[in-house]
Amino acid sequence: MDSTYLISGAIFVGISAAVWAVLSMFTEKDSRATERLQELRDGGRRPASEKGGMGNAVTAAAPALSKVLQPKTELEQNELKVRLANAGYGSPNASTLFLAIKTILLCVGLFFGGIVGVWQNGLTLTAAQALFLGGGLGFYLPEIFVRLKASGRKGRIFLSMPDALDLLVVCVEAGLGLDAAMRRVAEELSESAPDICSEFSTANMQLQMGRPRREVLHELGVRTGVDDVKALATILIQADRFGSSVAQALRVQSESMRTKRSQLAEEQAAKTAVKMIFPLVLFIFPGIFVVLVGPAAILMIRNLLTT
């Protein structure tokens, strides 16, 4: 079979997938009874009529679009929810919207990649490469975004955790319980440390709803994805189980995290000399070389010309 037919078929499949995705946004809709059951199951979910514009269309089409990429096992679903929670997306329908966005961007990447490839190179192998390159870029772009956002959020939580623990120790030693102390910390540090304060607020809300403290603290460590927060949750669970002093456990963990933060700062400072080599070689040394050697070179050229 000629390669031209293969390339044409690949482009046809990509464009057909994009058209199918657009049509599924308007054809595959849940019944009104199913929507009402979802609203009753998720109290924080707003009806579709209360959302407007593009967000309404994407949210309505998200279940249909995410079926193709939906994880098959419960373990894979939990891993996806944890990755999204680490990036700050902890809503119940976050995984569905994420998979729907991946599907949409995949189809958009295939569509524009095929158009650009055919427009620049015609029906050649390069056009097929552009087709699959656009599809792969659209498919993995949400993953890269989530990973970068999760990495930045973990770093912010790690840096703000010692200050939050210090205030938590002060509140506990002043006579407040752990629940009230977490609420107080979330109120006081909401502007300087919004990430850890939002996690404390979520954990406090779960405790007020009657969930066991052990499960709430464990989920706090899992949602943040920071090892030190997981260690803090383990320490608090053990202190609650054995009846030891919560304030002492918090103080020890605070000192440990503060020491680790100082060591990290010293490590970054020690790396500065190595990182400065490249800008020195590329930008500063050439200028110094011209300033120092330039006049001598000019004099040598003049002497050669006169002789």
pLDDT on residue 234? 87
3-state SS, residue 212: coil
Cα dihedral sign, 139-142-145-148: negative
Round to whole Å and give the CA distance between 14 and 237.
52
pLDDT in tens, 47-73: 444 444 555 655 666 666 666 677 777
| pLDDT tens for each residue of 222-241 | 888 888 888 888 888 888 78
Gap between the Cα atoms of 178 and 169, Å rounded: 10
pLDDT at 173: 84
**Cβ count near 140 (within 10 Å):** 15
Of the chain, the percentage scoring pLDDT greater than 90 comes to 1
Q: What is the Cα–Cα distance from 137 to 273, expressed in whole angstroms?
A: 36
Cβ distance 240 to 213 under 8 Å? yes
Quick check: 7 pLDDT over 70? no
On the question of pLDDT at 244 being above 80, the answer is: no
pLDDT band at 16 (very low <50, low <70, confident <90, very high): low
118: its two tokens: 């055919």
CB 84 within 8 A of CB 95: yes
> Do the beta carbons of residue 162 and residue 258 sit within 8 Å?
yes
Q: In sequence order, what are the residues at sequence separation of 6 or more whose Cβ sits closer than 8 angstroms to the Cβ of residue 198?
A: 88, 186
Q: Determine the Cα–Cα distance for residues 80 and 70; give it in Å rounded to an integer.
A: 10
Please give the angle made by the CA atoms of 246, 251 and 256, to the nearest 5 degrees.
130
